[in-house]
Amino acid sequence: MTGTPTVVFFPEGAYGPTNNCVGIGQVLQRHGVRVVFIVEESFAGALEAQGFEERLMRLGPPPEVEEAPGQFWKDFIAATAPEFRKPTSEQLTSFVEPTMRALVDGARYVDDRLREIIDELDPDLVVEDNVCAFPALLTHARRWARIVSCNPAELRDARVPPVFSGLSVHDEQPWPAFRAEYDRVMRPLWEEADDFCRERGAPGLGDLEFIHASDHLNLYIYPEEVDYPRAEPLGATWHRIDTCVRDGVGEADVPADILAGDGRLIYLSLGSLGSADTALMQRLCDALADTPHRYIVSKGPQHDEIELRDNQWGGEYLPQPLLMPRCDLVITHGGNNTTTECLHHGLPMVLLPLFWDQYDNAQRMDDLGLGVRLPTYAWEPADLTGAIDRMLADADAADRLRAISARVQSDPGRVRAAELIERVARGG
């Protein structure tokens, strides 16, 4: 194929998957590829501001009032936040199944609109970063590729802990019970999703899989050094791209006494959704107020409700790619985007998982000694400060993190991903 190929990105309506796709899209644009994003209406203009074309869609009926970007999921998380205090096995019923059901319902609602967009653009490749199937991609796109920007436990294997469980690789005894409960809770919804795919002319889903693998290209984001060993290797279309860190944009007017001073510089972020738990955020800020360190705090959408202390500075949304390299440690919810970004920059972690694959990332970092997983709502201030001090003093972890960072930065995942995507888009 000659000429300018068109690549369409269709990320989940959350900042993590969208930012990963932006990072890859930036490279593709430099290669002369036309890049278009399919985004929810609440994100209108956000991708255009970064130099991309947009096509808008909805995953449900229009709201009565104007939405902020990703507002649907912010509201959903706020309504279900009490479930985050439950064990992961109980969250299957109270959070995971309702969340996946909302995603499947969204796929039903948007399928006709996706067909319209694909027919209009006639792209050479559609790149999806979602966790449930959208049949229009299989029935109307010439080619499609998949990105997995969640923890790779999503790619099931006998040697990998069950997805969403937060269970350790060092203790397989509880795995079968969790898998059985997952089957009990999720199978009825899976049957509905499988029927929906077939009704819309797409292939059926694999057993208890909510999304297909692409016949052309599948990418997942996790550094090789921390990836899980597998009983069965992934197929030839699968490629690990380690990390996917986008260009830093914007500015952050961080006060001089935060950037330089006594102690170490620590980044605190529970993600755009986790930060909506303002009580948890305030408890963290209060517990860190008397430590000798300095903190940059990503406060999120309800920033006005979080009061920072003298050794802290932050804002609603911060240019994380610009700030994180200046820090010494990150306190995080364990989202896949932030976890792999920490590894990209060689930063130890203290992890407070809230939902979805955050438990899996938190436990994986704890198992490998690259972070400390804390009980998100049951920690005491001494637990938090002790975990910070322990990771900052861990010379072995620091050496391993530096080695991971040096390797992944020498072979940027977003560049490798862009090359693979362009190759497929051009017919390879």
The verdict on residue 251 lying in a domain is: no
Which residue stretches of 215-357 are H helix?
256-259, 271-274, 278-288, 320-323, 336-345
Answer yes or no: are the C-beta atoms of 123 and 155 closer than 8 Å.
no
Assess whether 146 and 197 both reside in one domain.
Answer: yes
Task: State how many domains the chain has.
Answer: 2
Helix (H) or strand (E) holding 135: helix 135-140
Q: Are residues 161 and 208 in the same domain?
A: yes
CB 130 within 8 A of CB 212: no
pLDDT, residue 247, reads 67
CA distances from 178 to 101, 172, 185, 266, 375 (A): 20, 10, 11, 35, 19
Asked if 372 and 323 sit in the same domain, the reply is yes
- My answer on whether 274 and 193 are in the same domain is no
Q: Among residues 340, 368, 396, 371, which one has the least CA distance to residue 169?
A: 368
| Domain identity same for 50 and 183 | yes
What is the pLDDT averaged over residues 157-176? Answer: 97
Domain range holding 334?
Answer: 256-409
User: Nearest-CA neighbor of 129 among 119, 120, 137, 117?
Assistant: 137
pLDDT at 76: 63
Q: How far apart are CA 156 and CA 232, in angstroms?
A: 10
Using DSSP's 3-state secondary structure scheme, residue 266 falls into strand
146 lies in the same domain as 94: yes
Interhelix angle 15-30/413-425, nearest 10 degrees: 70
Confidence (pLDDT) at 32:
94
- Check whether residue 50 and residue 129 sit in a common domain: yes
Residues 188 and 263 in one domain: no
Question: Would you state the torsion angle of the CA atoms of residues 333, 339, 345, 350, taken in this order, to the nearest 10 degrees?
Answer: 40
Whether the per-residue pLDDT at 261 is higher than 90: the answer is: no
Answer for the pair 186, 205: CB distance below 8 angstroms, yes or no.
no
pLDDT band at 304 (very low <50, low <70, confident <90, very high): confident
Measured distance CA(355)–CA(91) in Å, rounded? 8
Q: Are residues 32 and 145 in the same domain?
A: yes
Ordered alpha helix ranges (H), 306-411 = 320-323, 336-345, 358-367, 381-392, 395-410
| Within-domain flag for 24 | yes
What pLDDT is stored for residue 360 in this prediction?
98
Q: Are 34 and 4 in contact (CB under 8 A)?
A: yes
Residue 250 maps to a domain: no
Q: CA–CA separation, 195 vs 189, rounded Å?
A: 10
Q: How far apart are CA 228 and CA 174, in angstroms?
A: 18
Nearest to 387 by CA among 401, 371, 364, 398: 371
Is residue 266 located within the same domain as residue 224? Answer: no
Q: Hey, what are 267's tokens?
A: 């980044």
Tally of CB atoms within 10 A around 227: 14
Kindly state whether residue 39 falls inside one of the protein's structural domains. Answer: yes
| Domain assignment of residue 126, yes or no | yes
Q: What is the band of 1 on the pLDDT scale with cuts at 50, 70, 90?
A: very low
Q: Specify if 83 maps to a domain.
A: yes
DSSP bridge partners of 147 = 219
Residues 6 or more apart in contact with residue 267 via CB below 8 angstroms: 295, 296, 298, 320, 323, 324, 327, 329, 330, 331, 347
Residue 189 and residue 275 in one domain:
no
| Residues 265, 259 contacting (CB under 8 angstroms) | yes
* Structure-model confidence comparison of residues 304 and 103, the more confident one: 103
Looking at per-residue pLDDT, the higher value among 98 and 277 belongs to: 98
Global confidence as pTM: 0.92
Does residue 4 contact residue 121 with C-beta atoms inside 8 Å? no
Torsion angle in degrees (nearest 10) through CA of 340, 341, 343, 344: 120
| Mean pLDDT computed over every residue of the chain | 91
Q: How confident is the model at residue 75 (pLDDT cuts 50, 70, 90)?
A: low
Helices of type H across 2-96? 15-30, 71-80, 88-91
CATH number at residue 401: 3.40.50.2000
Element (H, E) at 424: helix 413-425
Read off the pLDDT of residues 340-371 as tens digits, 9 standing for 90 and up. Answer: 999 999 999 999 999 899 999 999 999 999 99
pLDDT, tens digit (0-9, with 9 covering 90-100), for 221-249: 999 999 999 999 999 999 999 998 876 66
Same domain, 405 and 420: no
The pair of three-digit structure tokens given for residue 351, joined into one six-digit string: 């992890």
Q: Is residue 90 part of a domain?
A: yes
Look up tokens 């862009």; give the residue: 418
